[in-house]
Structure 1
Amino acid sequence: MPDAPSVRARQRFRAAYDADPAGLWAAPGRVNLIGEHTDYNDGYVLPFALPHTTVAAAAPHEGDGWTVVSDDGSPVHFGAAEAAEPGAVPGWAGYVAGVVWALRDAGFDPPPARLALGSDVPVGAGLSSSAALESSVLTALVDLGGLDLPVDRRPAVAQRAENAYVGVPCGIMDQSASVRSRAGHALFLDCRTLDVEHIPFDVARDGLAVLVVDSNAPHKLVDGEYANRRSTCEAAAAALGLTALRDVTDLDAALAALDDDVTRRRVRHVVTENQRVLDTVELLRGGRVREIGPLLTASHASMRDDFAITVPEVDTAVETALTAGAYGARMTGGGFGGCVIALVDADAAETVADAVRRAFADRGFAAPDHFVATPGPGATRLE
């Protein structure tokens, strides 16, 4: 069966430009198995790519600038001037302009192009729809222009598009997962060195599944909360005389050196979360998949109590999943809404999802969505 985002991207390209695209390029959203708000602290993360993708249908053209069309069917055009000024292109098209800007800022000459996008990555769910958009467009422009940009450098370019052009202070995890993931594996990323290791994560082999529950609670990162957490962490590292919180070696001593309780709790989350990532990786290397469950649950408690980024919907989803038999559960993503993941027996996934649905109904929350996530590949040319 044809991939729906690919079909939509191709159809939109033909409708907008009365021509066929030169090719289709796909990049996935991601689920972060564990390691939240550690990436911008030079720490460790363990995401994997979703089968959900954003597809860019694209072709070079002789005119000036770049034109892109997406869900609303209205093409957005921007020229070299807009691509040279961060923030000049607003809305979703700003992510496309940001990629052009970041490529030029890195010394590359992306070709003028026409693009059309199709996606099935849920927006606002904490599954990195923005990184999927950036990575698909970046991969398309690199190929169309024959740009000599190695795969391991591409996440930093996409991240710079989001940080400097769009103005979202995300870390490098999302773009790394979208570009560098491998099917059947989680991506163990050292966010300081950018070294990666592909960790086998074939849960189906062990009769398990990763259930993703979209809480459908509002998920907003540009409203200052994410930036506030990041600035607090950076200030704490500076107060401790460290480059980043990744460098804390004695947590008790670090906490004692800080005089603000909120800052202490933020630091405790980052330091303990880094260790949970390392512990999870070690268990997965040994094939002990079920045993990562308590680490997932501890991660959620830390995000709730120390980092204060959960909301009642995701707390309810986690608590209900655990009661219904999940080995572990946690919120995934930047917080303040979005998704929960639960490690469950494969034949119990629908039972757990139904328990969460009933719990949401009992509390008057909007009905959640759910799906089972299978680790997929990173950005690639489809044709």
Structure 2
Amino acid sequence: MRVVEAFRTAFGADPATVWHAPGRVNLIGEHTDYNDGFVLPFAVPWGVTAAISPRADRTIRLLSLQSSPGPITIAEHGDAQGWTRYVVGVLAMLGDQVPGADIAIDGDVPQGAGLSSSAALEVSVAAALNDLHDLGLTPMELALLGQRAENDFVGMPCGIMDQAASALCEQGHALFLDCRSLGHRRVPLDLAAHGLRLLVIDTRVHHEHAGGEYAKRRAECESAARKLGVAALRDVTDLAGALDRLQGAERRRVMHVVTENHRVEALVGLLRAGAVTEIGALLNASHLSLRDQYEVSSPELDLAVEASLRGGARGARMTGGGFGGSAVALVAEDRLDSVRRSVEDAYTERGWQAPRFLTAVPSAGASPVAF
């Protein structure tokens, strides 16, 4: 295994444990997680693998096969920069429970594609440390640990969805998650049985959320909730009445969050009824809301969605935080080539870099790797 070989070369011994955690695609339920709402992600086949051994001191030595030519030594948590913050943040949240560590990282989640490579990194490291030090943390506790690392150490005010999907998902299932109670259930999602595929269209436009527009959207939602006298926008039951009391951006944000929660519940209902082929309209509506009400799409994402539908997709939407990243399209198997050509031609007409296409299959969450 490549990451084990790299660990041996860098640190002179075998790792004590190796764990893999996946990225995720969010089928529907965007920007609802930090509003205490509902989400429906599933884990993807691509992820991050962490090989780890403990150290007796507090030093952290990190090697990434994607990002560093050799080991990076971090003596103090505050010295972490760039990608290392996501790893060091996990150790920092564990405090004195965990000393230093030697860690090698290998990943194949397309970075910047909106498939949550950061959560995969956090959860793989958290799961490996949990195993290594016999901490007894549940999968949900691992997810919460990763979220705290990103919120409190990295400074990205994300919700729980990405880490929960990486830690909790099961193969062949989506994860219906109530982001307030953390109650969840796995919903069977066998697209192939219905002659369908979920095509991920990576626009190759990199997004960066921390401290930017993502944080602004969250602040707008929190401000709107205060004005409406609710703990979170999930609690808005009279949408028309709420909209009458708000103006501008806050009004639009509430419109999206409330209707998106309804779309998540409706889509779960269709899946449980076996009506997988009927979910496309909800994907389309979600994208329009994200574009017009939440204002987190981009020209590249909009074109990917529009061209997918012209090529014969059943439904399409941006996925992830937005401002770039990926779109997803629900496509019948016999229309895959048509959809790809339609998107490629549309990008060529604009003179844009060709997007990358991936087929996402609901995959397993974090798990140990034999080596």
> TM-score range with shorter-chain normalisation?
over 0.9
Give the Cα–Cα distance (whole angstroms) in 2 for the partners of residues 179 and 243 of structure 1. Answer: 27
2:355 matched to 1:349? no
What amino acid does structure 2 have at the position aligned with 1:222? Answer: A
In the alignment, the residues of structure 1 paired with residue 228 and residue 133 of structure 2 have an alpha-carbon distance, to the nearest angstrom, of 45
C-alpha distance in 2 between matches for 1:111 and 1:149: 17
- 2:34 and 2:91 map into 1 onto residues whose CA distance is 23
One of 302, 309, 315 as aligned partner of 2:289 = 302
Does the CA-based 8 Å contact 1:326-1:352 persist in structure 2? yes
SS class of match (2:97): coil
Residue identity matched to 2:58:
D
Q: Percent identity?
A: 52
Residue of structure 2 in register with 1:166 after alignment: 154
Distance 2:348 2:306 in 1: 15
Shift of 1:63: 3.8
Distance 1:304 1:11 in 2: 45
Match of 2:28 in 1: 34
Farther off after superposition, 248-257 or 142-151: 142-151
Counterpart among 27, 30, 39 of residue 45 in structure 1: 39
TM-score scaled by length of structure 2? 0.97
Verify: 1:90 aligned to 2:90, yes or no.
no
1:30-64: per-residue Cα shift (whole Å, max 9, x none)?
A: 00000000000000000000000100011123343
Corresponding position: 1:103 with 2:94: yes
Matching of residue 188 in structure 1 with residue 179 in structure 2: no
1:1-383 alignment, distance < 5 Å: 7-70=1-64, 71=66, 72-79=68-75, 82-83=76-77, 85=78, 88-104=79-95, 109-258=97-246, 260-383=247-370
Deviation at 1:22, TM superposition (A): 1.9
Deviating above 4 A after TM superposition, structure 1's stretches of 4 or more consecutive aligned residues are none
Do the aligned residues in 2 keep the contact of 1:293 with 1:327 (CA within 8 Å)? yes
Helix, strand or coil: the match of 2:114?
Answer: coil
User: What SS does the corresponding residue of 1:152 show, helix, strand or coil?
Assistant: helix
Q: How big is the alpha-carbon RMSD for the aligned residues of Structure 1 and Structure 2?
A: 1.1
Shift in Å, 1:357:
1.0
SS in 2 for 1:329: strand
Distance apart, 1:223 and its partner CA: 4.7
Cα distance in structure 2, aligned partners of 1:177 and 1:152: 10
Asked if the contact 2:53–2:102 (Cα under 8 Å) also holds between the matched residues in 1, the reply is yes
Give the gaps of 5 or more residues in structure 2: none
Runs of 5+ consecutive residues of structure 1 not aligned to the other structure: 1-6
Q: Is the 8 A contact 2:62 2:72 kept in 1?
A: yes
Partner of 1:3: none
- Are residues 11 and 347 of structure 1, via their aligned partners in 2, closer, same or farther at CA, if it must alter by over 3 Å? farther
Post-superposition offset of 1:366: 1.2
- Residue 152 of structure 1: how far off its partner (Å): 2.0
**Matched residue type, 1:90:** Q
Write the letter of the residue equivalent to 2:83: W
Contact 2:56–2:99 under 8 Å retained in 1: no
Q: Deviations over 1:197-242 (max 9, x none)?
A: 1000010111100000001113111251000000000000000000
Q: Which amino acid aligns with 2:98?
A: P
Describe the SS at the equivalent of 2:242. helix
Letter of the 1:374 partner, please give it. V
Give the secondary-structure state (helix, strand or coil) at the position aligned to 1:337. coil
Q: Which moved more, 1:215-224 or 1:302-311?
A: 215-224
